[in-house]
Structure 1
Amino acid sequence: MFQTFEQSASPEQGPPRLAALRTELAAEGLDGFLVPRADAHQGEYVAPRDDRLAWLTGFTGSAGYCAALTEKAGVFVDGRYRVQVKAQVAPEFTPVDWPEVGLAEWIAEALPEGGTVGIDPWLFSVDQMRGLERGLGAVALRRCDNLVDRVWADQPEPPMGEVFVQPVDLAGEAHGDKIARLAKGLDKAAACVITLPDSLAWLLNIRGSDVPRNPVPHGFAILHAAGRVTLFMAAQKLVELGDHLGPLVEVKTPEDFVPELEALDGPVQIDPASCPVAVLDALEGREIVEAADPCLLPKARKNAAELAGARAAHLRDGAAMVRFLHWVDSQTPGEFTEIDAVVALEEERRATNALRDISFETISGAGPNGAIVHYRVTEASNRTTAANELLLIDSGGQYVDGTTDITRTMVLGEAGAEEKDAFTRVLKGMIALSRLRFPAGLAGRDIDVLARAALWEAGLDYGHGTGHGVGSYLSVHEGPQRIARTGTVPLEPGMILSNEPGFYREGSYGIRIENLIAVEPAPPLPGQNVAKMLRFETLTWVPIDRRLIETGLLTAAERDWLDAYHAGVFERIAPLVTGAVRDWLEAACAPL
């Protein structure tokens, strides 16, 4: 059954909600209030209660801000959402291209005589606050209560999802060993504050259900250098854990968190990129050590058990995708809709009897809707497919042994020359990364160009990163690694990333091809003078639409890679499907 967890919001609802917020601004003596898409835990995804940006503006993207001033209101969105925001916000809200236009600089210009802007200190990280203070000039920043919460009459209650154990045979390491290992790394601090939900889940080998599509619990933790953890989480969430947490983990209520921070002795470590300002305020007077969340890199470097789980999850998910792609090819364009495709795909994943949830709201964009990079189909936007147009499906599954994320673009009939040219250039970029060998120590920014080079040759590009990290039955977007111009963290064995170049013609079509890949050591070559080389293991095994490929644009090496990939797809997936689906798969995997 089609459903979405996004807040109910529309352009018409925005103006009265903005007016109510401005009434609160006047009462507080403020010239503005900043509304990020964030919660107190500073994860990427938020529970319905915390989706304040969508409730106020109507914009439902996964990142952005609203600067609600007394005379104007800017909605700041990155390149993924430039098309989407135009359709979702009322004229009272001004879309702003961010980060090209800085949030602080825009506010400073909008309030040239100075002024005061309020923030909820739980919803901004220390780094974000510092960036705002640097850019605001004469504009003052004031911590205050959340003014959106004051006017949101039917705001949902805080989530209280059940917390459950991630078994050690899937996690690959007992949580007691993780605690000991990370505690030893706190050589300059007596304690470390952890707020990110996926870090908390990974460290304690637990999963939860407080955030839609992400198996993470809301809570806070303090990791002590002595090798123990204080966990701040509502007791009603933990009833199913039994004695899993053990003597190394002391459980307290969320209300105890701030008093416990205030009582800490010795240096305290925080990650300024994710630590809320309110936490830093509570630690006033203590020596602060600033360093990255100690869970980030260990979590990103998947161990053997996690990699084995990812491979198994992708085979299961690949078979579901193949059954779905066969279904698409069996339909008549004009007789099924974007939502029909979403429902059909989710049914195939649920038929595995292993799906815990989808890993994000499925992107099903037909024709011009495919050009909206993070399009979310609704009953209002649902488009009926048409002959000879493109259908872009970006989706994934949450399984106990792994998280999947895959995009395929299909033609519903015959593709035009422009679409085939663009598709092939996107494919060339995806193949370039898939075939790459590279010296250890390089980061995502060092290889991002390879995914774009064929598009650049034609004067084309895309406005999003090429790849994000992916968790192990955790968040489908996981840092710190990424393949993008901004990806500065060196890639290491065990890291799982997406490989997803694309191209989008606004008003016409969208193209994206996405596989998940894992970093692994590359065997040495004769005469190699680089001490250590890395390469990518492909995890995703699903056919790529050969009807959209302009074979003359591919080099011999690229054709060989694609033929070998399709042979690998058939070898792995054919035993998992039968009858007409297997016949379809065999044809889809035929050599070029």
Structure 2
Amino acid sequence: MSSYADRLKALREQLKRDRLDGFVVPLTDEHMSEYVGAYAQRLAWLTGFQGSAGTAVVLPEAAAIFTDGRYTIQVRQQVSADHWEYVGVPATSVSSWLGVHAPDGGRIGYDPWLHTRAWVEEARKALAEKGAELVAVNTNPIDAVWPDKPQPSDATLAVQSDDLAGKSSPAKRAEIADWLAERKADAVVLSALDSIAWAFNIRGTDVSHTPVALAYAVVNADGTADFFVAEEKVTDEVRKHLGNAIRIHDRSAFAPALQGFAGKRVAADPGSAVAAIFDALDAGGAKVLALRDPVILAKAIKNPAEIAGQKAAQARDGAALSRFLKWFEETAPQGGLTEMSAADKLREFRDQTGALKDLSFDTISATGPNGAIPHYKVTDESSLPIELGQLYLVDSGGQYADGTTDVTRVMPVGEASDEMKDRFTRVLKGHIAIATAIFPDGTTGAQLDSFARRPLWEVGLDYGHGTGHGVGSYLSVHEGPQRIAQPYYPGGQSLEPLREGMFLSNEPGYYKAQEFGIRIENLVLVTKQLISGAEQKMLGFETLTFAPIERTLIKPSLLTEQERHWLDSYHAEVLRILGPQLSGDELAWLEAKCAPIG
């Protein structure tokens, strides 16, 4: 279809044929994933929105798109105001909007494979107040009008070796079986793709930038499992790796299998298992236990092999990024660079490591006003020339077999303004506050978030995203349950206690609309702190990411003595770790970048 207006019209016509008065379109797949395969990009196809979180609602005479504060600018650039109303969440939820705008007595459709049961109950309640009805569809109406809809990936699975995983799949499944025994449960449904990848020590390429495979699993109380995946994706090597304790079924057999647990106690995660899973278990007579997926916390607390792998990946990635930063500093002022060509060049440096499997997300390569869009995605259409007087923000990462990286640096093109330097230094102060934080075991990310914001708050500034997210081990670059953010901030709650062994990002920022953006991001590891005289277990962070922080953007006068010490110590470690990987002009450049701040 030639335009997004045509697509919206086609959907409305399909809704008429389906006797529906509206339809809800979330940006997710049947696994409640953040990043989804091309076949599940229904929101992007319908609206043009390229962000990683959002929902649309289409009614006969109205349509709205719901995004949080990270996408306030982006959604207006990508989605036409002629056809769509922009609605901010969480201030207005999809359910509350439907409760106001749905036709009296109307039938509002939803795909039960794309929503949680909690959302269904909330929306049903809101619609009932208008005498309207929430209707589960058997076939998604967007699929009916999407003529060239991609097929799900048919890529084969890969084995993640026990050496890299740090624990075998049988050992992991035995721990899940113990968890089931404690709850007197017979089985647990795993539907989150990264949980399945972790539990079975497998990886895939079915979702761009996230090494997972489209599959479902049921782990039983005896440690055996049923694995539902397109059988052509399973090689002999993978079959041997999975072993006799894992029964392989075609992915299409999953929904019918859920109805075979009559009288059994079956756990499913209400946050990651869609409504259709609960409906099928209920229909089969299972006693459903709504419990958090037991893999989530186990996966978040990294073992020694995963920590060692992450450090190796970070050292490799930091050298590639540093080579790029040197190249950028020398090339950008000459003109001719664009956001897209810079991103492509950074990919080249990572490819040269010989170990890159994929990027960990689409590189945020943003200059000038695009830098003020925190989750900006460069395209051929949006790519701006990189010009003198601008700040260039690059947020990027790589997927390596031994670790997942995510790092943000900012570079000036020519001379930066005093305002830019002030804001950069305040963001740096916030970054250092998180990096040096010491806190009791049991502290949540919500309790730490304000540490990063204080230097900005002191001059009336702030930023509209969380300060840190969890990171997987050759898995999702955004991993729960840990976060550093204000309570109930867009993107998920941040009330999970931080535990020794967790990876998180440390990424405060500042964004001046239409002018520039600043973010400084390193990954950190939660570690035990040995403090003489301490009366309880104390934790802190070990920085994992090593690449120079641009010294020409720093106002030393704004830094305390302790902050200068941290910066100098950090740069000394950057030089120690990256120096042996560089030589000649590249090494000389790094040495200059890592000199004491003075």
Distance 2:189 2:405 in 1: 30
1:579 to 573, 578, 584: 584
Cross-structure match for 1:458: 459
Given that 1:199 and 1:295 are in contact with CA atoms closer than 8 Å, whether structure 2 keeps it comes out as yes
Shift of 1:133: 2.8
Letter in 1 for 2:273: C
Distance 2:469 2:387 in 1: 32
1:70-89 Cα shifts (integer Å, max 9, x gaps): 11111111111111111111
Shift of 1:299: 0.3
SS in 1 for 2:87: strand
SS in 2 for 1:56: helix
1:40 and 2:30 matched = yes
Q: How does 1:356-371 map to 2 (within 5 A)?
A: 356-371=357-372
Shift of 1:135: 3.5
Cross-structure match for 2:523: 516
1:555 and 2:560 matched = yes
Relative to structure 2, which stretch is displaced further, 130-139 or 513-522? 130-139
Letter in 1 for 2:104: E
Where structure 2 has 5 or more consecutive residues not aligned to the other structure, the ranges are 489-493
1:368-426 Cα shifts (integer Å, max 9, x gaps): 11111111111111111111210000000000000000000111111111111111111
SS in 1 for 2:247: strand
1:189 and 2:185 matched = yes
Cross-structure match for 2:135: 142
SS in 2 for 1:220: strand
Cross-structure match for 2:328: 328
Shift of 1:510: 0.5
Distance 2:51 2:331 in 1: 30
1:254-307 Cα shifts (integer Å, max 9, x gaps): 121112110114111111111111111111232111110111000000000000
Distance 2:99 2:15 in 1: 17
Letter in 1 for 2:207: V
Cross-structure match for 1:248: 245
Shift of 1:360: 0.6
SS in 2 for 1:283: helix
Letter in 1 for 2:375: H
Letter in 2 for 1:323: R
Distance 2:354 2:54 in 1: 36
1:89 to 76, 79, 88: 79
SS in 2 for 1:463: coil
Q: Percent identity?
A: 48
Letter in 1 for 2:403: G
1:378 and 2:385 matched = no
Q: How does 1:17-166 map to 2 (within 5 A)?
A: 17-90=7-80, 91-111=82-102, 113-136=104-127, 137-138=129-130, 139-144=132-137, 145-166=139-160
SS in 1 for 2:448: helix
Given that 1:232 and 1:256 are in contact with CA atoms closer than 8 Å, whether structure 2 keeps it comes out as yes
1:528 and 2:534 matched = yes
Provide closer, same or farther for how the CA distance between residues 185 and 413 of structure 1 changes in structure 2, counting only shifts above 3 A.
same
1:238 to 234, 241, 265: 234
SS in 1 for 2:238: coil
Aligned-residue Cα RMSD (Å) equals: 1.2
Distance 1:28 1:57 in 2: 21
Q: How does 1:498-517 map to 2 (within 5 A)?
A: 498-517=505-524
Provide closer, same or farther for how the CA distance between residues 332 and 200 of structure 1 changes in structure 2, counting only shifts above 3 A.
closer
Letter in 2 for 1:78: D
1:353 and 2:360 matched = no
Q: How does 1:121-520 map to 2 (within 5 A)?
A: 121-136=112-127, 137-138=129-130, 139-144=132-137, 145-186=139-180, 187-239=183-235, 240-265=237-262, 266-284=264-282, 285-333=285-333, 334-485=335-486, 486=488, 487-520=494-527
SS in 2 for 1:455: helix
SS in 2 for 1:54: helix
SS in 2 for 1:262: helix
Shift of 1:169: 0.4
Given that 1:178 and 1:203 are in contact with CA atoms closer than 8 Å, whether structure 2 keeps it comes out as yes
Letter in 2 for 1:299: K
Distance 2:117 2:496 in 1: 20
Distance 1:202 1:94 in 2: 40
Shift of 1:242: 4.0
SS in 1 for 2:414: coil
Provide the TM-score with structure 1 as the length reference: 0.96
Letter in 2 for 1:124: H
Distance 1:332 1:322 in 2: 15
Given that 2:98 and 2:123 are in contact with CA atoms closer than 8 Å, whether structure 1 keeps it comes out as no
Given that 2:160 and 2:203 are in contact with CA atoms closer than 8 Å, whether structure 1 keeps it comes out as yes
Shift of 1:36: 0.4
Shift of 1:462: 0.9
SS in 2 for 1:331: helix
SS in 1 for 2:241: coil
Letter in 2 for 1:101: T
Cross-structure match for 1:6: none
Letter in 2 for 1:176: P
Cross-structure match for 1:4: none
Shift of 1:332: 3.8
Letter in 2 for 1:196: A
Distance 1:560 1:500 in 2: 20
Distance 1:59 1:466 in 2: 24
Distance 2:312 2:110 in 1: 45
Shift of 1:114: 4.3
Distance 2:154 2:117 in 1: 27
SS in 1 for 2:294: coil
Letter in 2 for 1:158: P
SS in 2 for 1:185: helix
1:320-372 Cα shifts (integer Å, max 9, x gaps): 01100000111143221111211111000000001011111101001111111
Letter in 1 for 2:528: P
Given that 1:13 and 1:58 are in contact with CA atoms closer than 8 Å, whether structure 2 keeps it comes out as no
Distance 1:332 1:182 in 2: 52
Given that 1:128 and 1:273 are in contact with CA atoms closer than 8 Å, whether structure 2 keeps it comes out as no
Where structure 1 has 5 or more consecutive residues not aligned to the other structure, the ranges are 1-8
Distance 1:331 1:217 in 2: 39
SS in 2 for 1:590: coil
Cross-structure match for 1:5: none
Shift of 1:112: 6.1
Given that 2:21 and 2:103 are in contact with CA atoms closer than 8 Å, whether structure 1 keeps it comes out as no
Given that 2:329 and 2:411 are in contact with CA atoms closer than 8 Å, whether structure 1 keeps it comes out as no
Distance 2:472 2:125 in 1: 34
SS in 2 for 1:129: helix
Given that 2:178 and 2:221 are in contact with CA atoms closer than 8 Å, whether structure 1 keeps it comes out as yes
Distance 1:114 1:542 in 2: 59
Letter in 2 for 1:279: I
Provide the TM-score with structure 2 as the length reference: 0.95
